[in-house]
Amino acid sequence: MDIWQLGLASQVEHVRTKAVSAEDVASAYFERIEAVDDRIGSYLRLDREGAMAQARMVDEQVRAGRDPGPLAGACIALKDIFVTKGVETTCGSKILEGFVPPYESTVSERLKAAGAVILGKANMDEFAMGSSTEHSAYRICRNPWDLDRVPGGSSGGSAAAVAAGLCGVAMGTDTGGSIRQPAALCGVTGLRPTYGRVSRYGMIAFASSLDQGGPMGRSAEDCALVLEAIAGRDPADSTSLDEPVGRYQEACRTGFKGMCVGIPKEYFREGLDPQVEAAVRRGIETLAANGATIKEVSLPHTEYAIAAYYIISPAEASSNLARYDGVRYGYRARDASDLMDMYCRSRAEGFGSEVKRRIMLGTYVLSAGYYDAYYGRAQKVRTLIADDFRKAFEDCDVMVTPTSPVTAFKLGSRMSDPLQMYLADMYTISCNLAGLTGMSIPCGMDGQGLPIGMQVLAPALGEERLFRVAAGYQRLTDWHRRWPEVAQAQEAE
């Protein structure tokens, strides 16, 4: 078995015990990226120099007998939404082309402090707006399981990189499902932590009351290892939670015996692909057969989640994206007649169509005369959705649902209908609105060999519950260990 096929936890163990050098692990990944990523498009840019320097530093520490950190030599793909000092950061947008941040995000800072090696910046939908990565301003990203299909989004590059073995773990962000949905479509494990569990400092803002970064890996265990290193209070993010970081790796070993799993009936209705439903139901049976109690629960306001989300998130985005005006950084239109002309043309030329659509929608719902009818009402509906979960979690420890109603769809098939694209998030959005934590784990394949994801939800700061269920399930199944053909190709050569 090659080093890249081992899980992250095992790679770190190899580096820490000198069985293999961090430099060799990073080189192995760069070799694979060169051989495979032309066909996938998971990275927007690589930082070979920075990565190799960091890997050498880790190796020196190991040689000197010092502790190289809990993520020693862990090779990471960072969604291009995290700013990296001295390394271009675009958030998938032309408007940030050439932007070289003068500071580092807390997430990447903590990863590096723990000994991790950042291989490069992963492809994404522009400003994280999208469910297919087709809104990347730079390159198409393909699903490693079928190159004619999307990897999901917006953290599609991160998910594809993990699925194809082009990094150990990837970092994504999730505002309405952008970690869990691509994790499901690419057959990997993706965790959206509780809002505020991981610092948002240096994570380019989309919808500030919903955004949260988290790990995407080949197993729950790998995600736990990374979350322990990045979670916790950060003075630079006043919304980061001042709560003790959980023992996520230990939770992975605990298992789910005796836990009560709620099944929200509203998540198994029309719009759900029968093959996805069958796979998720088999997953639930596996949990039941191994010591979990299953209980039907109800979330009556489920059908209002998408509508509330597509008011709240564009409203917040329209405000956050006001900063891109061509003045201090990023793209500026040439030969403007005056300042206002420069603002409008820089934004019109720099933003892509989906971003403009959301800025327009957000500006509209916040504009005079419409605020109460749209934004004010959506925030109240958000309360009703959160109350549904509060009540349902009185009767269960976690909930299990499908992550996405369908498996990976064809490139281009939803681009002409924005609303259709938004419906891809129907099972993931409520988690963000209600302030929960959620994870997607692989639980099957459809008839075309495309991965199916199962979502596990827990109340705020219930990450340990998620790890107990996910890691316990992964000890009983092998869906998360499979590789797409494109990953095996190099091996065969």
Catalytic residues: 79, 154, 178
Could you tell me the two tokens for 365? 């719902």
Which SS3 state, helix, strand or coil, does residue 120 take?
strand
Within residues 202-261, the interface with another protein by CB under 8 A covers 209-210, 235, 238-239, 241-242
Residue identified by tokens 């399930």 is 473
Q: Which of 273, 260, 42 is nearest to 166 (CA)?
A: 42
Q: Are 153 and 124 in contact (CB under 8 A)?
A: yes
Closest approach, Cβ 92 to another protein, in A, equals 18
Could you tell me the two tokens for 261? 């799993």
Q: How far apart are CA 95 and CA 330, in angstroms?
A: 5
Closest approach, Cβ 386 to another protein, in A, equals 6
Within residues 306-325, the interface with another protein by CB under 8 A covers 306-308, 310-311, 318, 322, 325
Compose the 434-453 pattern: x for residues touching another protein by CB under 8 A, - for all others: xx------------------
Closest approach, Cβ 83 to another protein, in A, equals 11
Determine phi and psi for 484, rounding to 5 degrees: -70, 160
Q: Considering the complex, state which of residue 192 and residue 218 has its C-beta at the smaller distance from another protein.
A: 192
Distances (CA, A) of 444 to 268, 314, 454, 473: 17, 34, 9, 12
Q: Does 5 help bind another protein (rule: CB under 8 A)?
A: no
Within residues 459-478, the interface with another protein by CB under 8 A covers 460
Q: Considering the complex, state which of residue 83 and residue 279 has its C-beta at the smaller distance from another protein.
A: 83
Q: Considering the complex, state which of residue 11 and residue 131 has its C-beta at the smaller distance from another protein.
A: 131
Closest approach, Cβ 109 to another protein, in A, equals 15
Q: Does 119 help bind another protein (rule: CB under 8 A)?
A: no
Q: Does 136 help bind another protein (rule: CB under 8 A)?
A: no
Closest approach, Cβ 286 to another protein, in A, equals 31
Q: How far apart are CA 123 and CA 101, in angstroms?
A: 18
Within residues 332-391, the interface with another protein by CB under 8 A covers 332, 336-345, 347-348, 351, 356-357, 359-361, 363-364, 367, 373-374, 376-384, 386
Q: Considering the complex, state which of residue 343 and residue 479 has its C-beta at the smaller distance from another protein.
A: 343
Choice from 180, 301, 465, 480 touching another protein (CB under 8 A): 301
Q: Which of 45, 199, 39, 9 is nearest to 122 (CA)?
A: 45
Q: Does 415 help bind another protein (rule: CB under 8 A)?
A: no
Which SS3 state, helix, strand or coil, does residue 303 take?
helix
Q: Considering the complex, state which of residue 94 and residue 482 has its C-beta at the smaller distance from another protein.
A: 94
Could you tell me the two tokens for 304? 């209002």
Q: Does 271 help bind another protein (rule: CB under 8 A)?
A: no
- List Cβ<8 Å contacts ≥24 apart for 415-419: 415/132, 415/134, 418/354, 418/357
User: Which H helix or E strand runs over 24?
Assistant: helix 22-40
